[in-house]
Structure 1
Amino acid sequence: MLKFAAAAILVSLVTAAPADAEDHPVVVELFTSQGCSSCPPADELMRDLSQRDDVIGLALHVDYWDYIGWKDLFAKPAHTQRQKAYAREGGRAMIYTPQMIVNGQADVAGSDGLEVMGLIAEYHSAAQVATVVAERSGSELGVKVTPLDLSGDETYEVQLVQYSPLRHAAIERGELAGQEFNYANVVESWQVLGQWDGTTTATFTATLDPALSAAVLVQRAGQGPIVAATRAD
């Protein structure tokens, strides 16, 4: 039954009409930690961004502040590795929290709301170079990626991100001891569905955790720009 559902999704994706040219949400990744006293304003900004239809906000909790007294309940080593990969790609010698990466390209302090909003507007105004459509049927997901204006000399990764829309934490130790916070769009898993050459339409399938929200990103391999993204609702 699940195989049939996946096949049906793929058929509908292949015949689906192209997405509206204005319907291309900007991806904002926040690298944050419950052990970081300067992170709450950025976490609050992420809660605001999570309410916007034109933004896919993702909170990646890192683990390198765990040693100072509080182990982040949502931290994953893979998030730290992703942040380090962005630093290498951008020629930066250090990583920090709170940091936001916009569309896989721009690096900005996570609490600098004005700059973040300006970058979101800038990327919205840029021409689309690819589209991605995701259709969900229960726990089955079908994805279709289509090139619009790609050179064809790069490799891209089609990535599935699953996240909790809201999680609560009471901090017992560390710099934020005694405080409680609600965290939006907390990333729970991040996987590569496959490689894409950016030259022809391609389809992918995946199985989802029904308890989580999901998004699909198309990113140049090697932690490059995100060229397309969509929610998988």
Structure 2
Amino acid sequence: MILKNLIGTAAFVALMFIVSAFVYKNKAEESHQNLSSKNNGFAVLELFTSEGCSSCPPADALMGKIAEEYKDKPVYILAYHVDYWNHLGWKDKFSSAENSQRQQQYSSTLNSQVYTPQLVANGKKEFVGSDQNAVESAIQNALFSSNNIKIDLEAKILSKEITVNYKTAETNSQNKLLITLIEKKSSSNVAKGENEGHHLQHWQIVHQQNQISLKSTSEGTTSFPLPENFNPNDWEVIGLIQNTKSGEILGSAKVLF
């Protein structure tokens, strides 16, 4: 009350507002830091793309940018090259029917159309893969809200194959483990089709994905044929735990060679 009399009522109210705001801000920052320190979030970005689609190069380039920007964060990118645009005059050498089938599964689960470039975040939300604002927002939401089920991975290079040892505490029969062999970066000179004459860069290319049921076992070994001209620095393995009914990604991990 003495301070109020000295500086006047209006000034006193203003001063109390500033002090209250300062205290509130610090409490909010402290709360956010506590949540961040306890958070076990992750973001899985699955891009469906094609060298036969003229709308896809910007999405591919965005994945390269995201991969660099979040290289030290639990952000996992998988680029599936689909094969249904190959009839337009150019066969995408990275494409496969399995990649197209995975997108069809998401179409059914998420009640969405099949198109390129399409991006699915943590198996729960889909949007145009070249929409940078949507991608950044999805990453931030996933990192803050998701809870990562632990997956232990160990990759070994043998003479003709890559073996991956996996282990997880997850045993829900509705979940499956996906072990994916990823090429970090590659490129193509496109001679025909919608991207004719363009040199296209790609990032985080899916080459093979092995699906493992967690119904009866939560640890074991899976393998991939050793790619031609294999350089360990150019490849990685990503593991995902996914609910077979909802499509939600529940866990993720990565191992380098």
The TM-score with structure 1 as length reference comes to 0.80
What code does the residue aligned with 1:69 have? G
Letter in 1 for 2:182: Y
For 2:88, the equivalent position in structure 1 comes to 68
**Structure 1 ranges of 4+ moved more than 3 A:** 20-25, 137-140, 208-212
In the alignment, residue 32 of structure 1 is paired with which amino acid?
T
Q: 1:74 to 1:21 in 2, by over 3 A?
A: farther
Give 2:182's aligned residue.
Answer: 163
Q: What residue ranges of structure 2 are gaps of 5+ in the alignment?
A: 1-36
Q: CA deviation at 1:47?
A: 1.0
User: In 2 relative to 1, CA 208–68 (structure 1 residues): closer, same or farther, beyond 3 Å?
Assistant: closer
- Compute the displacement of 1:102 (Å): 0.6
How many Å apart are 1:65 and its aligned residue? 1.1
Residues 135-164 of structure 1 deviation map (CA, whole Å, 9 limit, x = unaligned): 2344432222235xx9x5x61001110011
Aligned length: 206
Tell me the alpha carbon deviations over residues 87-145 of structure 1, each in whole angstroms, 9 at most, x when there is no partner: 101122x2000000011111010010111110111011114152212123444322222
What is the identity percentage for the equivalent residue pairs of Structure 1 and Structure 2? 28
Give the alignment of 1:73-222 within 5 angstroms. 73-92=93-112, 94-128=113-147, 130-138=149-157, 139-147=162-170, 155-196=174-215, 202-209=218-225, 211=230, 212-222=235-245
8 A Cα contact 1:193 1:204, kept in partner: no
RMSD: 2.3
Contact 1:85 1:223 in 2 (8 A): no
CA contact (8 A) 1:86 1:223 kept: no
SS in structure 1 of the partner of residue 52 of structure 2 = coil
What letter corresponds to residue 186 of structure 2 in structure 1?
R
Amino acid at match of 1:97: T
Work out whether 1:50 is the aligned partner of 2:70: no
Alpha-carbon shift at residue 224 of structure 1 (Å): 1.0
Bigger mean CA deviation after superposition, 67-76 or 22-31: 22-31
Which structure is higher in helix share? 2
Can you give the 5+ residue segments of structure 1 that lack an aligned partner in the other structure?
1-19
CA contact (8 A) 1:58 1:185 kept: yes
TM-score, normalised to structure 2's length? 0.73
CA change 1:228–1:21 in 2 (3 A) is farther
* Contact kept? 1:24, 1:230, Cα under 8 Å: no
Deviation at 1:84, TM superposition (A): 0.6
Change (3 A) 1:63 1:208: closer
Query: Kindly tell me: are residues 137 and 33 of structure 1, through their superposed partners in 2, closer, same or farther at Cα, counting changes over 3 Å?
Result: closer
Return the offset for 1:35: 0.9
